[in-house]
Chain A
Amino acid sequence: MIEPIVVVSNIIDGLLMGLLYSLVALGLSLIFGLMDIINFAHGDFVMIGAYLAWILAMNFMVDPSVTALITVPLFFVIGLAVYKAVIEPILGAEPLIQIAVTVGLGFVLQNIALAIFHAEPRSYPAPALNFGINVGPITLTAAKLVAAAVSLASLLLIHYMLTRTKFGLAIRATSANRMVAPLMGINVGKVYAVVFGLGIALTALGAALYMSWGQVNPYLGASFSLLSWVIVAMGGLGGVVGVLASGLIVGVLEALGSTFITPSARMAVVYLAFFLLLWFRPRGLFARR
């Protein structure tokens, strides 16, 4: 009944989406891995980022993906502010408290968006990248290819930053042992703030890329929050590689669920796989013991 070409196309599309998921989840992974902060509002930052990309695209009549040049630095600053106001006070608090506070933050972001933009979906009407590219019998959306490519490049860039730069070393040293890090001359507070800002900035990048073909409404965040967490959990604390691999797995599982069961139950496939994986690899796929 289902033609092979459909399955192949869907898997490819799943991989492209998976790269974007990885990009969004990477921010979460960095934050959690470094400072043990459980951020349940991560997806809501994607939502705010998407609105911002939409506003800029509408004003300057450019493809939303281009707006990342403005929204990413802006979100870095917003990330710093949120860190100071909300995250710093709950550093080291019980996980439940962190969840409560970040869920509250998510409520605030959602309802600010609802008040400003109302519930109507917003989307840029004439994205330059929303056209098809035929590769044999398979049609790929240019916007998605661009999003996937930019995501991959960003993931590699951050991987490089973590492994090869001094700042990356500081991050890794702090996450390995935050007691010893200050002794080595690392300003832990500063590292935390910068990484949180970076994590939030990445959501803005993901959101801008996504807006090239997607749409935003105040409840978009819910789609990204739990999914990002699943990716982080599946990847374990394996750094960029772990997030990348589990993002791709999630993307493909989602596509397969859509293809073979029904799009309505596709998330069940992803989360069931997550269950099994966590049972047998409680520390994720790429755990470092």
Chain B
Amino acid sequence: MRLVSRKAISKTASAAIIVIIIIAIIAGGLAWWQTQQKAPTTTSSASPTSTTKTSTTSSATATTPKISVIKIGLVEPLTGKYAVFGLEAKEAAQLIVNIINNELGGIKSLGGAKIQLVVQDAGETPDDARLAAEKLITQYHPTIIIGAYISRLTAAVAQVTEQNHVILFMDGLVDSLTQHGWKYVFRVAPKASAHGKSAVDFVLDMAKKKGLKIKTAVVLHEDSIFGTYTAEGAVLELRKNGVEVLDDISYPDSITDFSSIINKVKADNPDIIITIPYFHDGVLFAKAVQAANIHPMFIAGAGACGYTDPDSIKAAGKAVLWYTNTYSYNPYRPTKWNQKIVKMFEEKYHKLPTEAAGIMFYTMMTIYEALEKAGQMYPSNPLNADNLRKVLLSLDLTDNNSIAAQLYPTGHIKFAPNGDNLYAGTAVLQVQMINGKEVPVLVWPEPQPGVHPVFPRPDWHGSGSG
């Protein structure tokens, strides 16, 4: 029971340490050597062979490669607190893949090749997302990956796809995602600050039409990176138009009580409130405003989360009446394909497609059109990432020539070299009372048929205070 002699331990221990370190160094060195060997030929999904080497690859790639299946990877948060978006995105992707494979007959320029969706859960944290992306690439070798809605997950995925030279279509909206100098990333959807700017532009436009003057504003935003960027876009646009920003308040989306913020807003007494909620907090905020007797000229949401989506309306009821929000997608856009896909989605899933689904609609369709074009431009090696990149940069999609553009709010998709859509824009939906029910309707840039934007809020005190 006495203590073991310390000397003996140190001796054996040091011997063992030396042995182990030697093993580790040898193994590490071998691994390093292995890396050096493997570095030039990456395990990229697309065949890395250049055109000159084509003949040396498998016999099938002589002139027209026999591509029967094109794998598209989907990394979306299917579990955890962001699951609500990922699940809808997945549903939308499955619907579009069905349409491409069955109704459109696959990718015609590639001999009717079918799209196969491979799905991975991006989880809740960047390391989950990173693992998911690694797994997709090493096990399925997808040609293109789409992901991951939440920006920090998207960034984690992008680091992996960039290393492996796989094209990533991002449905995360944070501005910085296209500012890292990443080469293989594309984003059809409008970025966060564009959402903030659109919300302000909409309100100012309405005020101008009604002959009202907006002098002061308060900006409220949930404190994620997305909310922060969106708020930045809104604040910049407000200041540019001479509106005084009395307060810019951030709060965590897990907030359970809005009282302290509401009291502050009440004391500020602004003309308008621009609010960027996450989801749960939007319901809470609207109810708190309702209870606190705050009556500003207008309350506009930004950032496509909360207020006007069916679940929020169901949860908040009258409290969200006349609230607006900016969307990367407009389910009411009156184009042939848009109405068709919305109808199919509703039939299949019994709900209106919202942001996550909408982005997936036009992103998948953009991919479809890019693959069609790749088959024509690079028949020998259409799925190579660099070729696909060139194809994507050459696309100029409008309502007349493309399905994807018909699904997009502005009806125009053309990529800038950083991967962002040059013609990005959002739609503004407003919750209105129609036939005794609260429903979201499109009010801006062009109102949907038979609809007029409600502005200012009917319960506004009037301009007395301003």
Residues from chain A with a CB closer than 8 A to the CB of B316 are 123, 125
Decide if B254 touches A223 in the complex (CB within 8 Å): yes
Question: With A121-B315, A123-B316 in contact, do A10 and B292 touch (Cβ < 8 Å)?
Answer: no
Decide if A123 touches B315 in the complex (CB within 8 Å): yes
Decide if A120 touches B251 in the complex (CB within 8 Å): no
B267 contacts the other chain (CB 8 A): yes
Closest beta carbon of chain A to B190's beta carbon, Å: 24
Decide if B267 touches A6 in the complex (CB within 8 Å): yes
Decide if A5 touches B315 in the complex (CB within 8 Å): no
Within 8 A of A (CB), among B210-256: 223, 249-252, 254-256
Decide if B223 touches A119 in the complex (CB within 8 Å): no
Interface string of B437-466 (1 = CB under 8 A from A): 000000000000000000000000000000
**Bound complex: CA of A268 vs CA of B260, how far in Å?**
16
Decide if B84 touches A118 in the complex (CB within 8 Å): yes
| Of the residues A9, A119, A131, contact of B259 by C-beta under 8 Å | A9
| Of the residues B87, B260, B319, contact of A259 by C-beta under 8 Å | B260
A71 contacts the other chain (CB 8 A): no
Q: Which has the most chain B C-beta neighbours within 10 Å: A5, A122, A123, A126?
A: A123
Residues from chain A with a CB closer than 8 A to the CB of B290 are 130-131
* Chain B residue at minimal CB-CB distance from A223: B256
Interface string of A273-287 (1 = CB under 8 A from B): 000000000000000
Decide if B250 touches A17 in the complex (CB within 8 Å): no
| Of the residues B249, B293, B312, B317, contact of A263 by C-beta under 8 Å | B249
Residues from chain B with a CB closer than 8 A to the CB of A264 are 223, 250-252
Interface string of A1-13 (1 = CB under 8 A from B): 0110110011001
Within 8 A of B (CB), among A203-228: 210, 213-215, 217, 219-220, 222-223
Closest beta carbon of chain A to B327's beta carbon, Å: 17
Q: Which has the most chain A C-beta neighbours within 10 Å: B87, B249, B260?
A: B260
A68 contacts the other chain (CB 8 A): no
Decide if B260 touches A258 in the complex (CB within 8 Å): yes
Closest beta carbon of chain B to A168's beta carbon, Å: 31
B202 contacts the other chain (CB 8 A): no
Within 8 A of B (CB), among A1-42: 2-3, 5-6, 9-10, 13-14, 16-17
Decide if A130 touches B256 in the complex (CB within 8 Å): no
Question: With A10-B259, A264-B250 in contact, do A119 and B81 touch (Cβ < 8 Å)?
Answer: yes
**Bound complex: CA of A114 vs CA of B312, how far in Å?**
17
Residues from chain A with a CB closer than 8 A to the CB of B249 are 262-263
Residues from chain A with a CB closer than 8 A to the CB of B266 are 6, 9, 139
B18-26, B28-36, B281-289 - the one binding chain A? B281-289
**Bound complex: CA of A223 vs CA of B83, how far in Å?**
19
A134 contacts the other chain (CB 8 A): yes
Decide if B315 touches A10 in the complex (CB within 8 Å): no
Residues from chain B with a CB closer than 8 A to the CB of A126 are 317-318
Closest beta carbon of chain A to B440's beta carbon, Å: 15
**Bound complex: CA of A5 vs CA of B262, how far in Å?**
12
Within 8 A of B (CB), among A243-289: 255, 258-259, 262-264, 266
Residues from chain B with a CB closer than 8 A to the CB of A213 are 284, 287-288, 291
A154 contacts the other chain (CB 8 A): no
Q: Which has the most chain A C-beta neighbours within 10 Å: B257, B266, B291, B315?
A: B257
Question: With A118-B84, A263-B250 in contact, do A215 and B260 touch (Cβ < 8 Å)?
Answer: no
**Bound complex: CA of A215 vs CA of B288, how far in Å?**
12
Closest beta carbon of chain B to A182's beta carbon, Å: 39
B264 contacts the other chain (CB 8 A): yes
Question: With A9-B259, A223-B254 in contact, do A121 and B291 touch (Cβ < 8 Å)?
Answer: no
Interface string of B301-316 (1 = CB under 8 A from A): 0000000000111111
Closest beta carbon of chain B to A44's beta carbon, Å: 14
* Chain B residue at minimal CB-CB distance from A215: B283
A72 contacts the other chain (CB 8 A): no
* Chain B residue at minimal CB-CB distance from A259: B260
Within 8 A of B (CB), among A98-152: 114, 118-127, 130-132, 134, 139, 141-144
**Bound complex: CA of A142 vs CA of B279, how far in Å?**
24
**Bound complex: CA of A134 vs CA of B292, how far in Å?**
9
Residues from chain B with a CB closer than 8 A to the CB of A124 are 315
B261 contacts the other chain (CB 8 A): yes
**Bound complex: CA of A130 vs CA of B288, how far in Å?**
8
Question: With A215-B315, A263-B255 in contact, do A132 and B280 touch (Cβ < 8 Å)?
Answer: no
Q: Which residues of A contact B (CB under 8 A)?
A: 2-3, 5-6, 9-10, 13-14, 16-17, 114, 118-127, 130-132, 134, 139, 141-144, 210, 213-215, 217, 219-220, 222-223, 255, 258-259, 262-264, 266
A121-B311, A124-B315, A255-B260 given; 13 more Cβ-contact pairs under 8 Å: A3-B267, A14-B259, A16-B259, A119-B80, A120-B279, A122-B315, A139-B292, A143-B291, A213-B284, A259-B264, A262-B249, A263-B252, A264-B251
Query: What are 20 pairs between A and B in contact, CB < 8 Å?
Result: A2-B264, A6-B264, A10-B260, A13-B257, A14-B259, A14-B260, A121-B280, A121-B315, A125-B315, A131-B291, A132-B291, A141-B288, A213-B291, A259-B264, A262-B249, A264-B223, A264-B250, A264-B251, A264-B252, A266-B260
Q: Which residues of B contact A (CB under 8 A)?
A: 79-84, 87, 223, 249-252, 254-257, 259-261, 263-264, 266-267, 279-280, 283-284, 287-288, 290-293, 311-319
Closest 8 CB pairs between A and B? A125-B317, A13-B259, A263-B251, A258-B260, A123-B315, A119-B84, A121-B280, A9-B263
